[in-house]
């Protein structure tokens, strides 16, 4: 969708809900450059957590813990009542090879959000998908972008190609 189409708002809410519903899922949120993470997708996820009133509180001992550091997009941790933890990790793909070793201590990356997909090459995206989405049996992949004006752009061609496992909105 175009600007102001609520793509990021919808995706961030769905990611937060999926984390709360499925105890084994962790999320990886990527953008092409790391320096854009904190002011975009990180803040978008924090917005969704707050909209859903799911911030961690000591009283209820559950919820999303949001790091206070302003320097970088640190992981957001969801703490369940039983003490298990899930993470939403943010990564820049300035060097997609660095994604190869990404890991979580509990569960697996079952959620991937690629923000501004048009900034990536198909090879970069394939590398991210293969590196992150392993170790589980259910995966949710969100790829958001403003459609390029050129019909021949690889993102437009991919969206037009039928895939029974994909919903294009």
Active site members: 116
Put the strands of the sheet holding 85-92 in their side by side order. 63-65, 76-79, 85-92, 25-31, 108-115, 140-144
DSSP character for 102? -
Which of 156, 30, 7, 12 is closest to 95 using CA atoms? 30
User: How large is the angle between the packed helices 7-21 and 43-51, nearest 10 degrees?
Assistant: 60
User: Is the Cβ–Cβ distance between 33 and 94 less than 8 Å?
Assistant: yes
Tokens encoding 157: 């061609």
Cα separation of 148 and 154, whole Å? 9
User: Is the Cβ–Cβ distance between 18 and 111 less than 8 Å?
Assistant: yes
Tokens encoding 28: 């990886």
Cα separation of 109 and 31, whole Å? 16
């Amino acid at each position: 969708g175009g600007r102001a189409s609520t793509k990021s708002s919808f995706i961030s809410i769905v990611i937060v809900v999926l984390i709360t519903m499925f105890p084994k899922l962790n999320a990886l949120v990527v953008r092409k450059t790391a320096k854009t993470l904190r002011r975009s997708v990180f803040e978008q996820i924090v917005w969704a957590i707050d909209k859903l009133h799911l911030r961690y509180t000591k009283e209820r001992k559950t919820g999303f813990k949001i790091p206070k550091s302003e320097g970088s997009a640190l992981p957001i941790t969801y703490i369940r009542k039983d003490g298990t933890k899930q993470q939403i990790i943010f990564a820049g793909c300035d060097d997609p090879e660095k994604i190869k070793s990404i890991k979580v201590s509990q569960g697996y990356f079952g959620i991937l959000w690629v923000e501004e997909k048009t900034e990536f090459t198909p090879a970069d995206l394939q590398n991210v998908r293969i590196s992150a989405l392993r170790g589980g049996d259910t995966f949710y992949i969100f790829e958001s972008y403003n459609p390029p004006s050129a019909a021949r752009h690889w993102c437009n061609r991919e969206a037009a190609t039928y895939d029974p496992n994909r919903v294009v909105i």
